[in-house]
Chains A and B, each alone.
Chain A
Amino acid sequence: GQSLEQPSEVTAVEGAIVQINCTYQTSGFYGLSWYQQHDGGAPTFLSYNGLDGLEETGRFSSFLSRSDSYGYLLLQELQMKDSASYFCAVRQTGANNLFFGTGTRLTVIP
């Protein structure tokens, strides 16, 4: 089986930096992905880490440590529009599907 743990809620101030953590347990591992979902909308792909280290895409970065079974999403220069739910997801070796975490609801306040 597999499991993913994320904080359920995070609140941060506009302009600040926030880190959303994700720890996973899975038999076989083929990468960690991050998705963003605004209220009432569909999830959209943010980033993917197949190897250890940091991946940067604009204000968003994602990090993976396979030895620690841990990753995080880093959001910089927070904007009000970043208020959304963020999901980490893992792919097991040989699988053609993703397993999603329960999501972290980020609230950005002025």
Chain B
Amino acid sequence: SQTIHQWPATLVQPVGSPLSLECTVEGTSNPNLYWYRQAAGRGLQLLFYSVGIGQISSEVPQNLSASRPQDRQFILSSKKLLLSDSGFYLCAWSVGEVNTQYFGPGTRLTVL
């Protein structure tokens, strides 16, 4: 069966510090991978998606970047965090059917 891992579960970082969040998927090959951000009590905002190794599509301009160094690994990064980067970051995957996405447990990021 397929599983998706995200770490860390929670993170508190000072403004201006770097960020690296990692997501890995097991039990499937060549998945579509997604990074979403959710502000408290709000909807899901798509940040990046990837249909293959090294292929990254960005949905919104921001100080975040994403990379996909391996088929089942998706990394979200920032060189300098802003207060507005606080939120719940969710990684998701899909195979074949984009409408059916499976989410990881998420990382709750607080930037102080």
Binding site for B on A (CB under 8 A): 30-31, 33, 35, 41-45, 48, 50, 87, 89, 91, 95-103
Asked whether B51 lies within 8 Å of A96 as measured between CB atoms, the reply is: yes
By a CB distance below 8 angstroms, the chain B residues around A102 are 42-43
Sorting the interface of chain B by its residue count into under 10, 10 to 19, 20 to 34 or 35 or more gives 20 to 34
Binding site for A on B (CB under 8 A): 32, 34, 36, 42-46, 49, 51, 57, 59, 90, 97-106
A-side interface mostly: loop
Q: Determine how close the nearest CB of chain B comes to the CB of A102; give it in whole angstroms.
A: 4
Asked whether A89 lies within 8 Å of B99 as measured between CB atoms, the reply is: yes
Asked whether B44 lies within 8 Å of A100 as measured between CB atoms, the reply is: yes
Asked whether A96 lies within 8 Å of B43 as measured between CB atoms, the reply is: no
Asked whether B49 lies within 8 Å of A100 as measured between CB atoms, the reply is: no
By a CB distance below 8 angstroms, the chain B residues around A30 are 99
Q: A48-B99, A91-B98 are in contact. Are A97 and B46 (CB under 8 A)?
A: yes
A-B contact pairs, 5 of them (CB 8 A): A35-B101, A42-B104, A48-B97, A48-B100, A100-B43
| Bound CA span A31–B105, Å | 25
Pick from B44, B57, B102, B106: contact of A45, CB under 8 Å: B102
Asked whether A91 lies within 8 Å of B99 as measured between CB atoms, the reply is: yes
Asked whether B46 lies within 8 Å of A98 as measured between CB atoms, the reply is: yes
| Bound CA span A19–B46, Å | 26
By a CB distance below 8 angstroms, the chain A residues around B90 are 42-43
